[in-house]
């Protein structure tokens, strides 16, 4: 039996990294002010001069995602990996070890599989346009407030994602176990 929860995905496009980081800080402050930290995943993306995407700042709720990955990855990292397979987190590539790569692959599969193909395509194409981006995965009932906080965006995408936290955790454990036995 699955325990799907529908959440809203926001993808915002920016002309500058500063603007994306400013909106990230506003969204983060909103969640602290509302005391809703169990429903907040976000990542700031930037493109380098060669067009490669890098996650430069992220918040992925450890109380929910901590059991998935000790590396601190959550839904936004999985979604970024699905949209931009060669994306980097910090200074290293996402797929660091065989076990971590398998876990990230499972997380990316769930993140991408939880969205419609149309929404996933629109989000990816939208983020391709700007120099920076912000992805926020939020509880649907606070959506209007999240949208207001993302006021510096040149373009804002909104879609739905269905998430089954128990299924993700189970698949990641199986993938890591399978790759460690190879």
Tally the domains of the chain: 1
Cβ neighbors of 128 (< 8 A, separation 6 or more) are none
pLDDT at 138: 83
Q: pLDDT tens for the chain, 182 residues: list them.
A: 457 777 888 899 999 999 999 999 999 888 887 776 556 788 899 888 887 888 888 887 654 444 444 444 567 777 777 777 666 554 444 444 445 555 566 667 657 777 777 877 887 788 788 889 999 888 878 888 889 999 999 999 888 888 776 777 777 677 667 666 65
Instruction: Quote the domain boundaries for residue 167.
Output: 5-180
DSSP letter for each residue of 68-101: T-TT---HHHHHHHHH-TT-EETTEES--SHHHH
Nearest to 79 by CA among 168, 139, 170, 178: 168
The pair of structure tokens assigned to 28 is: 């983060």
CA distance 68 to 176: 11
Residue showing tokens 């915002």:
12
- Model-level pTM? 0.76
pLDDT digits (tens, 9 = 90+) for 108-159: 765 777 777 787 788 778 878 888 999 988 887 888 888 999 999 999 988 8
Q: CA nearest 137: which of 153, 151, 123, 152?
A: 123
Q: Give the pLDDT score at 66.
A: 47
Is the CB of residue 158 less than 8 Å from the CB of residue 13?
A: no
> Which structure tokens are listed for 130?
């700007």
């Amino acid at each position: 039996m699955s325990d799907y929860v529908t959440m809203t995905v926001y993808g915002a496009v920016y002309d500058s990294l500063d603007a994306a980081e400013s909106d990230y800080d506003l969204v983060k402050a909103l969640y602290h002010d509302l005391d809703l930290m169990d429903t907040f995943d976000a990542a700031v993306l930037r493109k380098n001069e060669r067009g490669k995407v890098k996650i430069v700042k992220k918040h992925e709720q450890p109380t929910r995602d901590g059991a998935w990955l000790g590396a601190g990855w959550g839904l936004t990292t999985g979604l970024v990996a699905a949209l931009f397979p060669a994306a980097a987190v910090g200074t290293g590539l996402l797929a660091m070890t065989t076990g971590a790569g398998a876990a990230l692959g499972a997380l990316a599969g769930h993140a991408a599989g939880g969205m419609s193909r149309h929404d996933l395509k629109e989000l990816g194409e939208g983020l391709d346009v700007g120099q920076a981006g912000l992805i926020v995965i939020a509880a649907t009932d606070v959506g209007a407030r999240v949208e207001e906080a993302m006021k510096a965006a040149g373009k804002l995408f909104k879609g739905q994602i269905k998430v089954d936290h128990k299924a993700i955790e189970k698949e990641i454990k199986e993938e890591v176990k399978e790759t460690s036995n190879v």
